[in-house]
Amino acid sequence: MVISKDVHLPSESDLTVDQEITLSTPWLKAVAPYMAKHCEKEANEFMLRRKELEDPRATLKEGAALTNCGVKFLQSLKRSCLAETERLANCVDQSSAKLYLSKCHDDQKQLDACVETNLHVTRPKLGYFSLPHVHNSAAPPPPLPIRDYKAEAAKVLAELPDDYHLRKDYRKYNDWRYNFAES
């Protein structure tokens, strides 16, 4: 990617967070629904701001807040439900080559009960995250970029030299043929 000198790149301190989430895939598959439900507000805020601003550099603060929420949830899960989480992650890891949860329903029920009693997070029903949800953000929406095409065209035409030849014989292009002989 080529960038110009006037593009501000964030410093290393802006890009670092206190702690990264480093989980293997079986562990992440085991705890993902609970973590997503617990950090839903932060995730919705981050995704909304990233989509609205169309610049990932402007959403570093929201991304760091989302990462911190995930780390805090995982720490609280480790304190309260470590044995159940280990059992489910090991089942996911060893039951199938594609890491399916379908053979681990007993362990998942135990983790569901532990997370619900200790962390007060209920595992969402299947399809919850694919439904549309309305998120009200505290941040103001960005201004809509409205271009003034007439002013831009006038500026371009004003920059042209006086002896520049402008075409006056504009003709609409017809894609059809007039008769069979032209085909």
84, 30 in Cβ contact below 8 A? no
Q: Which one-letter amino acid corresponds to residue 155? A: K
Domain boundaries, the chain: 18-130
Reported confidence tier of residue 1, pLDDT bands at 50, 70, 90: low
Whether the CA torsion 149, 154, 159, 163 is positive or negative: it is positive
pLDDT > 70? residue 101: yes
99 Rama class: left (phi>0) / alpha (psi -120 to 50) / beta: left
Q: Cα Rg for the chain, rounded, in angstroms?
A: 28
What mean pLDDT comes out for the span 109-125? 96
- Among 31, 37, 20, smallest CA distance to 89 is for 31
Between 37 and 173, name the one with better pLDDT: 37
pLDDT of 124 reads 95
